[in-house]
Structures are given as structure tokens and as C-alpha cells.
Amino acid sequence: MVNAVVLEAVNEQINNELVSSYTYLAMSATCTAQHFHGFAKWLRIQSTEEYGHAMKLFDFVLNRGGAVKLNAIGEPKVKFKTMQEIFEAALAQEQAVTKRIDALYELAQKEKAFSLMVELQWFLTEQVEEEKSARDIVAKFNLIKNDPVALLELDREMGSRGPEK
């Protein structure tokens, strides 16, 4: 396995991805409770994707002979005033993940952890997509403002999302 500093950083990212998954799941539950089932579906799929990201790094660590260290996950924020606020929080979360992935890549480069650099290439590309998706949704919320019909239409549109392949 890579050195201890890199292993610790990868384990931290595994936990960060699990926190993201847990947060998206809480956001989904909030949407369901407010009868926005399309938003809830989109966020639940996002939760599953984040879990998959954690498992990708989890498997990488194990395949390289490292030890996975899982930490406790705190209770996510579940009080949002509007649906828009939920998706603004999702965008901020994705931007934070991008910074962490970039920092992990930089560490891998510094420590000459070449196999990790290759693994992280997928994450770098994925984060561009994740941020764009969240940014597009926030932009739609900014366009519709407080129009209830447009909000319901956006909820319907978001509910048409299928799981990623």
C-alpha cells in the first residue's frame, strides 16, 4: 500500500463520500416529507452514487493491501426553508468534494502514489459532472423564483432521473 500519510488521506475521503451519501439521503427524506417526490428521487439517486464513490475508494485501499478506517458519521442538517436551499447546499457540498479530491490528487502526486493518481482520474472527471448538474439545478431554481407551477414542473423533471450506469 501507499505510505501512511496517503492511506490516511484516502480513508478520510472514503468517510467524506459516506458523509455526502448520508447528507443526500437526509435531503431526500426532507423532500419526501414535503411531497416533492421528484426532488427526493434525484437526491436519493445522488446518495447512492456517493456511496458508490466511497466503495470505489474502499476497494482501492483493500486491493492495495491497506486498512480501511471508518469513522462515525454525524447527524446531517435536515432543516431547510426551501427546496432551492437544499440544492444550493448540494452544490456547495459538491464544490467542497471537488476541493478535497483535488487536494488528494495533489498529495498523491507529491508522495508519488501513482496508482492512486490513476484511480483519482475518474473522480476528477466525475466531479466536473457533479458540480455542473448541481449548478444547473440551482440555476433553474433562480429562474423560477417563487412560481409554484414552475416548482412542480421542476420536481416532475427531476423525478425522471434514472440511476447512473
Residues whose CB falls within 8 Å of the CB of residue 65, separated by 6 or more in sequence, listed in order: 1
How far does CA 145 lie from the centroid of its chain?
25
pLDDT at 165: 47
* CB-based contacts of 138, cutoff 8 Å, min separation 6: 84, 87, 88, 91
Average pLDDT of the residues of the chain: 95
| pLDDT band, residue 164 (cuts 50/70/90) | low
Residue among 110, 98, 86 at smallest CA distance from 158: 86
Q: What is the pLDDT of residues 57-102, one digit of tens each?
A: 999 999 999 999 999 999 998 789 999 999 999 999 999 999 999 9
Q: Residue 72 has which C-alpha cell?
A: 462515525
Identify whether the C-beta of residue 76 lies closer than 8 Å to the C-beta of residue 26: yes
Rounded-to-integer distance, Cα 57 and Cα 68, Å: 9
Between these two residues, 2 and 55, which has the higher pLDDT value? 55
- Distance between CA atoms of residues 116 and 134, nearest Å: 27
Indicate if the pLDDT at residue 13 is higher than 60: yes
Domains and CATH numbers, the chain: 4-71+78-158 (1.20.1260.10)
Q: What is the pTM for the complete model shown?
A: 0.93
* Ramachandran angles phi, psi of 51, nearest 5°: -60, -45
